[in-house]
């Protein structure tokens, strides 16, 4: 055993350049593996945060449920949170910009903190009330104030865009912006 150790030390000392290159390759390989692993972790976290910002912190969406089905979901212990909302329709503001209106029931809007901050007025509390940002109000050409009626011509898509969208005229009262 002693002879192998002595032989290895003699070889390392006689072939310094090769030994240094092997050592550098091992260090660089370790560094690259660490960097790739960290990059994958960062990208995964960014993807999750983007998904939460776009769609809220949810994992599944069920459409057109009746009260019994909703109650069954609320009682299911596998689900940590069940939010309720009603899609009201959409309004095309420009060819590249569409306003989607959703009514959140109970405290469901709390999962969208950026959508529930109001500069003036308050969030809707009763049917036929709405809160829109100042930018959207400018886009719509709305000149009124809080408490004024705003009429929106919405399109409601049925059956996941399989059937033709139906036009809906909504008269709502502005409660905040």
DSSP letter (8 states) at residue 165: P
DSSP sequence for 45-58: HHHHHHHHHHH-S-
> pLDDT digits over 61-106, tens only?
777 788 899 889 888 887 777 878 878 888 888 888 888 888 877 7
pLDDT at 8: 80
The pLDDT value given to residue 119? 83
Q: Could you list the pLDDT tens digit for every one of the 177 residues in the chain?
A: 578 888 888 887 888 888 888 889 999 999 999 999 899 989 888 888 887 777 666 667 777 788 899 889 888 887 777 878 878 888 888 888 888 888 877 776 666 666 667 788 888 888 888 888 888 888 888 888 888 898 888 888 766 666 677 888 888 888 888
85 Cβ contact partners less than 8 Å away, ≥ 6 residues apart: 102, 103, 104, 105, 108
> Is the distance from CB of 85 to CB of 105 less than 8 angstroms?
yes
What distance separates the 2 farthest-apart alpha carbons in the chain?
A: 95
Q: For position 116, what pLDDT does the model report?
A: 67
Angle at 86 between CA 147 and CA 170, to 5 degrees: 40
φ and ψ of 143, to 5 deg: -105, -5
- pLDDT for the residue 31: 94
Distances in whole angstroms, Cα of residue 4 to Cα of each of 8, 11, 18, 21: 6, 10, 19, 22
Cα–Cα distance measured from residue 147 to residue 129, given in angstroms and rounded to the nearest whole number:
9
Count of CA atoms in the C-beta half-sphere (13 A) of 117: 2
Residue 140 is predicted with a pLDDT of: 85
| pLDDT (0 to 100) of residue 166 | 81
Note the pLDDT of residue 27: 94
Which distant-in-sequence residues (6+ apart) come within 8 Å of 99 by Cβ? 90, 91, 92, 93, 136, 139
**Residue 110: per-residue pLDDT:** 67
**Per-domain residue ranges of the chain:** 2-55, 86-176
Among residues 90, 104, 105, the alpha carbon closest in space to that of 168 is found at 90
């Amino acid at each position: 055993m002693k002879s192998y150790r002595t032989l290895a030390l003699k070889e390392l000392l006689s072939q310094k350049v090769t030994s240094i290159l092997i050592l550098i390759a091992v260090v660089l390989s370790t560094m690259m593996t660490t960097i790739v692993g960290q990059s994958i972790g960062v990208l995964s976290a960014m993807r999750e945060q983007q998904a939460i910002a776009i769609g809220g912190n949810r994992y599944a969406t069920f459409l057109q449920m009746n009260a019994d089905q909703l109650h069954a979901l609320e009682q299911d212990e596998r689900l940590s949170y069940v939010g309720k909302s009603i899609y009201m329709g959409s309004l095309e503001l420009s060819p590249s910009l569409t306003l989607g209106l959703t009514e959140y029931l109970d405290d469901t809007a709390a999962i969208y903190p950026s959508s529930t901050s109001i500069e003036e007025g308050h969030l809707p509390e009763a049917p036929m009330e709405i809160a829109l940002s100042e930018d959207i109000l400018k886009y719509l050409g709305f000149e009124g104030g809080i408490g004024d009626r705003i009429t929106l011509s919405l399109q409601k898509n049925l059956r996941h865009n399989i059937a033709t969208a139906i036009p809906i005229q909504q008269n709502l009262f502005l409660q905040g912006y």
